[in-house]
């Protein structure tokens, strides 16, 4: 589905974020990207989301290179990224933020309300739907970010440290939700420091980055 071929990313200040990464992401995969801070996890997700372009190497989708000629907005409707720093519109309501991807696609009112209700209920945000995002706690914002990323049913969901700074209970809610989304056929790539998983959940791939290099691949 997505293949990174010898991908290197060097930032203008000379920081080498990724070095010769070779990685294959198959349909319905659930991949944990682990590593210490500064290992290159976020850069990897941003490269797949086309927020960044690789300095060297290629990112391929169905064996076709993703280049600048790609219509970025179409790609980002397929590949949603839930950012570590949320990237929400602070002075709009939870409902507004969560339904934005559906508004962009021009879905009907009834479809938007139905999908929003499902997502808000699953993420325990139903009672917060009319609150402004700036009035929410960090954990609630994390759930809104996740809700916005999944509501449009993307092919690939990229999650950047979705469990960072969350209490165990909220982390579990989010993991349950993400695994349920994966079971519905959505490919998940999730960068994380720590893994929380349901009992008897399907096996997941895990890759480890260190100083921008892919040092191990395996399953958990």
Partner 1 sequence: MYRLFYILRQGGLLLKESKKAVLISIIFLTIGFVAIGSSYIVGERLFASSLSLKSKVNITVFFKNNAEESDIKQSIDEIKAIDGVKSVEIIDKAQAKNNFLKLFPQYASLVNSLEQNPFPYTLKIWISNLELGENIKNLIITFPTVDSVVFSKDVAEKINNLTHMLWFLFVFIFIAVLAEFIFISQSITSLLVDLRHSDIKVLNLIGADRAFIHTPFLIVIFVSVTFSWLISIFVLKKVDLWSVEIVKSLLPFAEYSASINAAALYGKLFIFGILISWIGAIMPLRRVR
The contact set with partner 1 (CB under 8 A) reads: 49, 51, 73-77, 80-81, 83, 87-92, 100-101, 103-109, 148-149, 152
Q: Computed from CA positions of residues 25, 29, 33, 34, in that sequence, does the dihedral angle turn out positive or negative?
A: negative
CA-to-CA separations, 189 to 6, 28, 29, 132, 155, in angstroms, rounded: 19, 10, 8, 29, 11
Nearer CB in complex with partner 1: 15/103: 103
Q: How far is the CB of 150 from partner 1 (least distance, A)?
A: 12
Nearer CB in complex with partner 1: 141/204: 141
Q: How far is the CB of 77 from partner 1 (least distance, A)?
A: 4
Alpha helices, DSSP H, located in the chain: 41-48, 72-78, 94-105, 109-122, 138-151, 168-183
Strand 205-210 relative to strand 187-191, pairing? unpaired
Nearer CB in complex with partner 1: 53/104: 104
Q: Computed from CA positions of residues 216, 44, 42, 79, in that sequence, does the dihedral angle turn out positive or negative?
A: negative
Report the interhelical angle of 138-151 vs 168-183 (nearest 10°): 0
CA dist., res. 182 & res. 203, Å (int):
12
Q: How far is the CB of 94 from partner 1 (least distance, A)?
A: 14
Q: How far is the CB of 1 from partner 1 (least distance, A)?
A: 18
Q: How far is the CB of 174 from partner 1 (least distance, A)?
A: 19
Nearer CB in complex with partner 1: 34/42: 42
Nearer CB in complex with partner 1: 109/219: 109
């Amino acid at each position: 589905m997505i293949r990174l071929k010898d991908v290197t990313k060097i930032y203008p200040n000379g920081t080498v974020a990724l070095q010769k990464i070779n990685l294959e992401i198959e349909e319905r995969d659930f991949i944990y990207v682990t590593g210490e801070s500064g290992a290159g996890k976020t850069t990897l997700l941003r490269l797949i989301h086309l927020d960044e372009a690789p300095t060297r190497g290629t990112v391929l989708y169905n064996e076709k290179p993703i280049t600048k000629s790609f219509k970025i907005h179409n790609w980002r409707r397929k590949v949603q990224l839930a950012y570590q720093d949320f990237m929400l519109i602070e002075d709009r309501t939870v409902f507004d933020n969560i339904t934005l991807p559906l508004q962009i696609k021009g879905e009907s009112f009834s479809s938007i309300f139905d999908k929003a209700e499902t997502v808000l209920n699953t993420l325990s945000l139903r009672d917060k739907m009319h609150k402004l995002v700036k009035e929410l706690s960090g954990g609630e914002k994390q759930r809104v970010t996740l809700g916005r990323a999944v509501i449009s049913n993307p092919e690939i969901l990229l999650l950047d440290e979705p469990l960072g700074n969350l209490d165990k209970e909220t982390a579990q809610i989010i993991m349950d939700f993400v695994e349920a989304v994966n079971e519905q056929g959505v490919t998940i790539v999730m960068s994380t420091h720590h893994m929380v998983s349901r009992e008897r959940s399907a096996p997941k791939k895990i890759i480890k980055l260190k100083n921008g290099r892919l040092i191990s691949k395996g399953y958990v």
